[in-house]
Chains A and B, each alone.
Chain A
Amino acid sequence: MPQLGETVTEGTVAQWLKKPGDAVEKYEAFVEVSTDKVNAEVPSPVTGVIRELIVKEGETVPTGAPIAIIDDVAAGAATPEPTGSGSPSEQVAAAAGDRNAEANHQASDEPVPGGNVGLSGPTYSAPAPSNAASGNGASSGVAPGGVRVSPAVRRLAREHRIDLARVRGTGANGRITANDVLEAAKAGPSAAVAAMITTAKEEPHPIPAPPPPTPPPTTSAPPTPTTTPPPPPPTPTPQERAKPSYAGARPGELIPLTQARKIIAQRMVDSKHTAPHAWTMTEVDVTNVWKWRVREKDAFEKAYGVKLTLLPFFIRAAVESLAAFPLMNASFTDEGIRVHRDVNVGLAIAAGGNLIVPVIRHADQLSVKGLALAAGELIDKARRGKLGADDLAGGTFTVNNTGANGSILSAPILVPGQTGIVTTEAVVKRPVVRDDDSIAIRSMMNVCLSLDHRVVDGAVASGFLSDLKKRLEAMGPTGSL
């Protein structure tokens, strides 16, 4: 029984996610545990086979008591691996101390001019992440639960912007050690979500095929400016019909909060309550860049097996604008506004009712082609449930393709710690007045920006958007990927 949270001395097995004989991967959640402080899914310390479940569902045992035996496949024969307290071997399965709590939908489909946007992209549920908040570190680690943070831990957490509540300690009595913080820093705050995502095998929902380009089905969610256009109801399985779930919401139901949902909710609240959100938008004539894309897409897909959407073009323009407006690629901290050196662009993806934002690292160093490939790889990984900690860590700016769901205006919520999140709304053919006062039919795309008003003001934000618009409109079929 791990120690989840300071002063916690016992835990209850809420639900076994495995049964004896089941295979389990290292870091895969195998049990849901609840304490008076926190509920968490506990990741397996080893890859192996469940041999025995010692504690019954609903039973409460003290911290440190064995709850299950897993035969470690790697260790060979039946070497029982009773999982008990927060032993050093248990992986940090931190909660979503990440900034990936935005759902979207990767634009792997083609935003068809005219507003036909199909909802495609993978939807799949992932098991709720563990919220193994082992609380703050120990001072002497003497009394059970009497753990405090050491000076080194405190300092390192501050320097690396690690939320200690989401770090699992490997020290005595579950204390967070300096090393734990450093490891968490390496993995990034999103390490937890990696754990959450890796259990593709457990998906109860199959990945639906990309729907044809028809007007987006109306969903139960109102078209309010949120970042999370709900995914279409996937083919309900018998399992799903039985249990109320977020992905398959039905009127009259009370959907129990999964850990993921709780975390997402909390992150949304945190974001809105911390950063004063301001909003602006611009409209971009994407006719030329669209032509460029059309010219390239077939050859590209044939060569690389990856769809070429408008997204990488957009990101390319965005990173150039970020270079011109570095404050949009910054974070507000008490010590100052940290202007990031790296430009790591997060792409908001829907993941079966959960929000995930894998990150293209060093996006500024990638060409359109590179961005397309990187994005494609991330989407593929997400689909296969193979996103790792590195994929989710370190985002500095986020792009959300709300247009994939037909939206023409969105007011996204910032990923905590970032200063800007930009959306690509639906590409709509509209008559517009040109410079020479003639009227033409152009493909127009709104671009919306939510910004942290502590860091930037309207002038910077608008400047950024204007710059982005200029660059996008300057792209054309003569360009190279």
Chain B
Amino acid sequence: MTATAQQTGVTMTNVEAVRTTLHDALARDERVLIMGEDVGARGNVFLITKGFLEEFGAERVVDTPLAEASIVGVAIGMAMEGLRPIAEIQFADFIYPAFNQIVGEAAKTRYRSNGDYTCPLVIRTPYGGGVRGALSHSVSIEALFYHVPGLTILAPSTPADIKGLLNAAIECPDPVLFLEHKKTYRSVKGEVPSGYYTIPIGKADVKKAGTQLTVVSYGYNLHQALEAANRLEGEGVSVEVIDLRSIRPMDKGAILASVRKTRKLLIIHEDNKFGGIGAEISAMVAEEALFELDAPIRRLAGPDVPAMGYAQPLEEEFMTSTDEMVEAMRELAKF
């Protein structure tokens, strides 16, 4: 990643990385504003924008009515008019009313006007489960949107990546859906370089190098995968873990380079398996590297049921455990 003004980093959690990046963006660029439900006085339900209202004013931290379609739709109009709005959907589960605006309007603004208008909009939303959030506070939505040309979908998993990619998203002249896994908000810590920097959109990151199999993942799963890989390192199994970071566009080069080296691929995502992004990765690898593969491509993913339940056994059944990952990796390495 490119870091300008390299200084020593600061250790912080994922949610703090979101917070500080948003804060700095507001301070740096007067075109930037934040809008959504409860982002102002409440400071966001995860306290991400706490204090922003006082510091930047109600014009820049806008409490909107409870209406997701217009949260995004109005932000689209602002973006078309030249501002850099960051719209928040309080939970990814609430994004469906805004689907029309995101897919039917934002994604197509530049295209349908042949560049006459553009839509430099960021939509941020927390997603993912493991927090006993049940049906409407746990869902993963990337599969619904990554299909849409004109959209950019980002899902960084570490604080340093969050900062770099959120900055890139704000800079991006086209609409970006920025996904934050809520279970990693406070559970993932990392060092974040000081100063302004961006990470190239679309670029994955090899978080752990290895030789016997490739794991591709993101979000909370990514951290579990790393833990599983480290455990297996002790058994003499060398696993390479790639953090996708960007769902659309996706880093073909990184995935193929790794698969060509290890010849075995395991894709892990929390989202439902059928039609999840693992399907697209599998298709691409099969198309481009079939004769490198020494084993069928494997996917560990959420079951094809509507949601993880509120009860703990239901949530656990839905989420992939680190032990399951260890087992899958071990099996694949032995294959």
**Direct contact, A vs B (beta carbon within 8 Å):** yes
Whether the Cβ atoms of B290 and A151 lie closer than 8 Å is: yes
CA distance A139 to B335 in the complex (A): 9
- The answer, yes or no, to whether A286 is at the interface (CB within 8 Å) is no
Whether the Cβ atoms of A152 and B335 lie closer than 8 Å is: no
Give every chain B residue within 8 A of A179 (Cβ-Cβ).
294
- The answer, yes or no, to whether B296 is at the interface (CB within 8 Å) is yes
CA distance A152 to B334 in the complex (A): 16
B242-284 vs A, CB cutoff 8 Å, 1 = contact: the mask equals 0000000000000000000001000000000000000000000
For chain B, residues 277 to 335, give those with C-beta under 8 angstroms from any C-beta of chain A. Answer: 290-296, 331, 334-335
Whether the Cβ atoms of A150 and B293 lie closer than 8 Å is: yes
- The answer, yes or no, to whether A141 is at the interface (CB within 8 Å) is yes
Whether the Cβ atoms of A175 and B292 lie closer than 8 Å is: no
Given contacts A138-B335, A141-B335, A171-B334, contact A152 B296 (CB under 8 A): no
B36 to chain A, nearest CB (A): 47
Whether the Cβ atoms of A175 and B291 lie closer than 8 Å is: no
Which B residue sits closest to A140, measured CB to CB? B296
Whether the Cβ atoms of A177 and B296 lie closer than 8 Å is: no
Whether the Cβ atoms of A155 and B291 lie closer than 8 Å is: yes
CA distance A24 to B248 in the complex (A): 59
Give every chain A residue within 8 A of B263 (Cβ-Cβ).
152, 178
Q: List 13 A-B contacts (CB under 8 A).
A: A139-B296, A140-B296, A150-B293, A150-B294, A150-B295, A151-B291, A151-B294, A152-B294, A153-B294, A155-B291, A155-B292, A171-B334, A172-B331
Number of interface residues of A (CB under 8 A): 16
A150 to chain B, nearest CB (A): 5
A206 to chain B, nearest CB (A): 45
CA distance A140 to B334 in the complex (A): 11
Band of interface residues on B: 10 to 19
Whether the Cβ atoms of B335 and A171 lie closer than 8 Å is: yes
CA distance A269 to B335 in the complex (A): 35
- The answer, yes or no, to whether A272 is at the interface (CB within 8 Å) is no
A162-173 vs B, CB cutoff 8 Å, 1 = contact: the mask equals 000000000110
Whether the Cβ atoms of B291 and A172 lie closer than 8 Å is: no
B260 to chain A, nearest CB (A): 10
A126-154 vs B, CB cutoff 8 Å, 1 = contact: the mask equals 00000000000011110000000011111
CA distance A402 to B64 in the complex (A): 97
Which A residue sits closest to B290, measured CB to CB? A151
CA distance A154 to B291 in the complex (A): 8
Task: Given contacts A151-B290, A151-B294, list 19 more A-B pairs with CB under 8 A.
Answer: A138-B335, A139-B296, A140-B296, A141-B335, A150-B293, A150-B294, A150-B295, A151-B291, A151-B292, A151-B293, A152-B291, A153-B294, A155-B292, A171-B334, A172-B331, A177-B294, A177-B335, A178-B263, A178-B294
Which B residue sits closest to A175, measured CB to CB? B335
Give every chain B residue within 8 A of A150 (Cβ-Cβ).
293-295
CA distance A44 to B296 in the complex (A): 31
B266 to chain A, nearest CB (A): 14
CA distance A154 to B293 in the complex (A): 10
CA distance A175 to B331 in the complex (A): 13
CA distance A140 to B263 in the complex (A): 14
Give every chain A residue within 8 A of B290 (Cβ-Cβ).
151
For chain A, residues 207 to 254, give those with C-beta under 8 angstroms from any C-beta of chain B. Answer: none
Give every chain B residue within 8 A of A140 (Cβ-Cβ).
296
CA distance A138 to B293 in the complex (A): 12
Give every chain A residue within 8 A of B291 (Cβ-Cβ).
151-152, 154-155
Which B residue sits closest to A178, measured CB to CB? B294
Which A residue sits closest to B286, measured CB to CB? A151
Give every chain A residue within 8 A of B294 (Cβ-Cβ).
150-153, 177-179
* Most-contacted residue by chain A among B290, B292, B294, B331 (CB, 10 A): B294
Which B residue sits closest to A158, measured CB to CB? B291
B220 to chain A, nearest CB (A): 29
Give every chain B residue within 8 A of A175 (Cβ-Cβ).
335
CA distance A140 to B290 in the complex (A): 15
Give every chain B residue within 8 A of A138 (Cβ-Cβ).
335
CA distance A172 to B294 in the complex (A): 12
CA distance A369 to B276 in the complex (A): 68
A56 to chain B, nearest CB (A): 31
CA distance A141 to B264 in the complex (A): 14
CA distance A291 to B263 in the complex (A): 59
* Most-contacted residue by chain A among B293, B331, B335 (CB, 10 A): B335
CA distance A151 to B290 in the complex (A): 6
CA distance A231 to B223 in the complex (A): 68
CA distance A49 to B291 in the complex (A): 43
CA distance A155 to B293 in the complex (A): 10
CA distance A235 to B269 in the complex (A): 72
Q: Which 6 residue pairs spanning A and B have beta carbons closest together? A: A178-B294, A152-B294, A155-B291, A151-B291, A150-B294, A172-B335
CA distance A175 to B21 in the complex (A): 51
Which A residue sits closest to B292, measured CB to CB? A152
Give every chain B residue within 8 A of A155 (Cβ-Cβ).
291-292
CA distance A474 to B19 in the complex (A): 88
Give every chain B residue within 8 A of A178 (Cβ-Cβ).
263, 294
Which B residue sits closest to A176, measured CB to CB? B294
CA distance A139 to B334 in the complex (A): 13
Which B residue sits closest to A137, measured CB to CB? B294
Give every chain A residue within 8 A of B331 (Cβ-Cβ).
172
Give every chain A residue within 8 A of B293 (Cβ-Cβ).
150-152
Give every chain B residue within 8 A of A139 (Cβ-Cβ).
296
CA distance A179 to B294 in the complex (A): 9
Whether the Cβ atoms of A172 and B292 lie closer than 8 Å is: no
CA distance A450 to B138 in the complex (A): 75
A138 to chain B, nearest CB (A): 7
Give every chain A residue within 8 A of B295 (Cβ-Cβ).
150
B210 to chain A, nearest CB (A): 15
CA distance A152 to B335 in the complex (A): 13
A137 to chain B, nearest CB (A): 8
CA distance A151 to B296 in the complex (A): 9
B172 to chain A, nearest CB (A): 38
B213 to chain A, nearest CB (A): 12
B125 to chain A, nearest CB (A): 38
CA distance A151 to B292 in the complex (A): 7
Whether the Cβ atoms of B334 and A172 lie closer than 8 Å is: yes
Which B residue sits closest to A155, measured CB to CB? B291
A85 to chain B, nearest CB (A): 13
CA distance A140 to B297 in the complex (A): 10
Give every chain A residue within 8 A of B335 (Cβ-Cβ).
138, 141, 171-172, 175, 177
CA distance A138 to B331 in the complex (A): 14
Give every chain B residue within 8 A of A177 (Cβ-Cβ).
294, 335
CA distance A194 to B60 in the complex (A): 78
A473 to chain B, nearest CB (A): 51
CA distance A177 to B291 in the complex (A): 13
CA distance A138 to B332 in the complex (A): 12
CA distance A152 to B331 in the complex (A): 18
* Most-contacted residue by chain B among A140, A152, A153, A155 (CB, 10 A): A152
CA distance A245 to B331 in the complex (A): 47
CA distance A153 to B296 in the complex (A): 12
CA distance A374 to B78 in the complex (A): 83
CA distance A177 to B293 in the complex (A): 10
A75-96 vs B, CB cutoff 8 Å, 1 = contact: the mask equals 0000000000000000000000
CA distance A171 to B263 in the complex (A): 13
CA distance A152 to B291 in the complex (A): 5
CA distance A65 to B292 in the complex (A): 33
CA distance A153 to B263 in the complex (A): 10
